[in-house]
Each structure stands twice: as C-alpha cells, then as structure tokens.
Chains A and B, each alone.
Chain A
C-alpha cells in the first residue's frame, strides 16, 4: 500500500527546518562531497589532467540551476535580468566545457584507419 507508506515515510519532511539545522545539513553535504572529490580525483593519471580540468570546469556550470530558479521566478525586473544573464553565462560554461572535453578525449582514443 504505497499510498499509505509514502506519507508515513516522509511525514517529518513537512515540518519546518530551523535555520541552524538547514545550515548544518548543507555543511554536511559540502564536507562529504569535498571528501569524495579528494578521494576520486587523486586517482586520475597525469595524462588526463587537461580533460579533468575542462570536465570539472563544465560541472562548475551547475550554477545554471540557481540561475534558472532565480530568473524563472520573475520576482523583480532587475533580479530577472541578472538571472537571465547568469543562465546565459552558465550555459556557455556547461556546453563549452563538455564539448571541449569531448574533443580532447576523442584525441586520446586509438584511431581507426
């Protein structure tokens, strides 16, 4: 009976979160993700450092998510304009980053001749 279980499982999620708990939750996420990042990236060999730099550069375009939320809310004219510009810039970062990384990685593939 999922319709019964799901509300039970997530019942406490509707309670408001106090600011300190919210901050600690995000800080937990931040520190754990940093840790995962350190662990994973130390294993990348030197020859892939350039694609790693450009690939991670593309991922830093994640700020597009924030830009979309603030631009799409249409709260104030200036806020929307700034958000619109942020979406454009973040998308340049995202699209350019992934395409450049792909171009570089293609060169590392054995050539079919």
Chain B
C-alpha cells in the first residue's frame, strides 16, 4: 500500500471514531467515553496530516524545520485552548463555546486563503491562470465566506453572552434589513467573482471582509432568549466551513467531520426553534411581533399576592412533592448551589423534589442541565418538559426561579398572544406556585404573565440567590 493509502486509512479510522463519539453522546455515562474517542480520532487525523505528501516533500527539501514549525503552532494553539477551557468559569460556558466555535470558522477561512494564495502563485509561475468555476474555486469562495460569517457571528455572540456593554442592547435599526440585503447581494456578486476569476486573491479577501460584516449584522439584532438558536446555527456553520474546506483540498475526513457537525447544529437549531414555536427566519430576521399585547396593569391590577420567606416556608412544610423550574435568571443570580441547599432541606423532611427543564431555558441548548449539574444535582432529577408536564396537577408546590415566558399560560390560552402555541411548562396546574423574581418586569417576549396574578400563585420579590437562601433558613427553623 502506498503511504497515501495509509494516510487515508487513518482518516477513515478518525471518521469512524467521530461517528461513534456522537453515538455515545446519547447517554450521560457513555458520553465521557465518546468525548475521549472523538479526541482520539482528532489526534489520529492530525498525526496523519503531518505525513501528507506536501509536508513530506518540504521535509525532504528542508529537513525537520516544517515539522518543528507545525509542532510549535500546534502547541501554542493547544495550550491556549486548554488553558481557556480549564480557567473559564463553568457559568460562562455559552460564551466560551461561542468563542471556540469562532476560532474553528476563522481557521477554515485561513486554510482556503492560504490554498488560494499558493495556487495563484503556482499559476503565475506557470503563466496559466486558474480555470474558472472549478470545484476548487467554488469551494474556496464558500469556505472563505462561511468561515468569516462564523468567526464574526461567534464574536458578537460572545460579546452578547459576556454582557459586554457594547452589546447590551440588540441592534434594532429599522434599516438593518436593507443593510443585510445589500451585504447579501454584494456577497453573491463576490462569490460569482471568485468562481469566475479564481486567480484574484483580492476578490477572495473582499468576500471575506463582506462575509465578516454580514456575520456581525446578522447576529447583532438577535436578543437574549434567542441565543440558543444562534449558538446552534453558528456551530453548524463552523462544521459546514470545515466540510467546504474539505472540498478545497480534496480531503474526505474534513468533509465527513464537517458535515457531522453541520448536521448536528442544524438539528439542534430546529429543536430550539420548535421549542419556541418560531420559524428560523422569524428568529433571524423577525424580532417578536408586536400584536395586540394585553396591558400589564389589566393583568396584574390588585391580583398579585406577594409573600415572605416565612409564609412560603409554611406552604413548603406541608408539601409532599415540589418541582423547581429554573430559568436564565437562576444563572444570572448564580443561585444553583442555593437551590441545591433548599432541595436538601426539603428532602430531609421527606419531600420529593424534581426539576422541570424547558428546552430553551437559558442561553444555550441544555444550559440549565449543566448549571444544576454543577451544583451536584443528580441528572435523574432533571426532567424534560413532555415528561414532567402531566405531573403538575399532582404537584403541591412549583417554585419558578428566574423563568418567565416558558411558564406563561397565555401561550396555551390566548391565541392572540405573541407566544401563542409555544410549548410551556404547565406550572399553573400545580396546587401552589411560588415565583421568585425581582419585579413584575416582562421576560424576553415583553408580555405580561397571567401566571403572576393567578389565585394559586405567590410572588416572592427578591434576588434569586438571596431569596432561596432565606427560604432555606426559614424552612430549617
């Protein structure tokens, strides 16, 4: 077998390991092994790449220096990545994942740029321009574009999730659709330009610049609660960029791994959109509709009952079954450990405690699960929406912490509501609902929540963490 055949066999092994890795991600216990296998596949693919013909030829001509250079780049990147991943606090995971994702996209763009630079130099030396509309030309254009959109989109997502002051407000300039349209048309023209005239590095880098702008303008208007969709979509893009790079250099492991990631991101995007009952186009270009929204004063006037820690503790003392409903507010208040303490205190009294997790609670897919797992809450107690909804009528107390729109019964009852039809957690069916919230301010959808005014609801106005600590203290008295 030729050395190229051995390299291809190594790539095939890596590809199989990636598929098995995804397969093992279906269970919390097997997922750790899956992650190891994925890393092993990556190591095999990277080692095999060092034996590729172009690298071996330059080694033959110049000695070990190319390999030293590659090793240096690998170590620099590997150390930076590992240190970031270890040092970054667990609560910052959504922005960390966004940032890493962006680097992958940028790398794909640079690979395409470097390949094009080398190819045009070779074409010039042979004084034969690169042929137009080849696989190489088209794939190079697409890789450069998708990678640039991924990188800048991810940076903006990072800024929003990190709550940097520049990104505090979503960009809602009424002209943004025209700006996006203009950029999109320019992008299409430049793609055509690169494909028709691949010998021009200038056109490629112009495409990258316009793609970068598009990455920013597409992500900037998207607000807080829609972030899980954006994260999934950017994740998908980084995979597709890698797959496109595979078409540039005619390499199947890039195509396989890239399309696996692309498919995974697309599925998660669809799941997130479904969980919000919104279309992808609606999330990307819409903003929520401003249809006849019930007046907050009409909904709340005179009907909201506020309670103290002691009163709520009394209700909890008589409860047999308590369901805790976490939302993004829990992550902001860093109240996950306090919640664990409260659950311990309740369980000590013989109360059953479970957690109801809405698919889009938080800022990335599955955010609440990771947050509660960090506080040592066993994952068996974290139950998905469809699984726990039928049990609310038998629940004595539902405690809602930092969640709003995902428990708004208007989604079920009011067909005119902007969130009508969105699947929600039916906490209003519990015997008593305790809502821990700073104020009556609306959630991301900007609509009042009739749950807060319901007969069986007690509002507990306080910071999430302090509220839970006070509640635990009152319960332990």
Contact = CB atoms under 8 A, between A and B. Distances in A.
Contacts of B88: 100
A1 interface: no
Interface in A66-113: 66-76, 78-80, 82-111
A102 B36 CA distance: 8
Given A64-B49, A88-B73, A107 B374 contact: yes
Interface string B244-280: 0111111111111111111111111001000000000
Given A52-B25, A84-B73, A103-B85, A33 B268 contact: no
B126 interface: no
A45 B26 CA distance: 6
Interface stretch (B284-292, B359-367, B398-406, B408-416): B359-367
Given A67-B111, A89-B107, A108-B373, A96 B257 contact: no
B174 to A, nearest CB: 33
A29 B365 CA distance: 28
Contact of A53 (B21, B74, B231): B231
A53 B268 contact: yes
A29 B256 contact: yes
B268 A111 contact: no
Given A66-B111, A87-B74, A94-B81, A59 B384 contact: no
B85 A96 contact: yes
B100 interface: yes
A76 B82 CA distance: 31
A92 to B, nearest CB: 4
Given A56-B261, A74-B62, A103 B86 contact: yes
B203 interface: no
B70 A79 contact: no
Contact of A109 (B32, B110, B135, B254): B32
B231 to A, nearest CB: 7
Nearest to A62: B257
Tell me whether chain B's interface is mostly helix, strand or loop, or mixed: helix
A60 B263 contact: no
Contacts of B21: 55, 59
B376 A96 contact: no
B215 to A, nearest CB: 16
Contacts of B253: 62, 65
A4 interface: no
Contacts of B238: 57, 60, 93
B106 interface: yes
B249 A71 contact: no
B192 interface: no
A16 interface: no
A93 to B, nearest CB: 4
Given A40-B22, A62-B257, A66-B251, 18 more contacts: A30-B259, A37-B267, A51-B370, A55-B35, A56-B239, A57-B97, A58-B100, A66-B242, A67-B114, A70-B54, A83-B111, A84-B69, A90-B103, A95-B81, A96-B80, A97-B100, A103-B86, A105-B35
Interface of B: 1-2, 5, 11, 15, 18-19, 21-23, 25-29, 31-32, 34-35, 38-39, 41-42, 45-46, 48-50, 52, 54-55, 57-59, 62, 66-67, 69-70, 73-74, 76-82, 84-86, 88, 90, 93, 96-97, 100-101, 103-104, 106-108, 110-111, 113-115, 117-118, 121-122, 134-135, 231-232, 235, 238-239, 241-243, 245-268, 271, 357, 359, 364-367, 369-370, 373-374, 376, 378-379, 382, 384
17 contacts: A29-B256, A34-B263, A37-B267, A38-B263, A40-B19, A47-B382, A50-B367, A51-B370, A58-B42, A59-B41, A68-B46, A68-B55, A68-B70, A74-B58, A95-B81, A96-B100, A99-B86
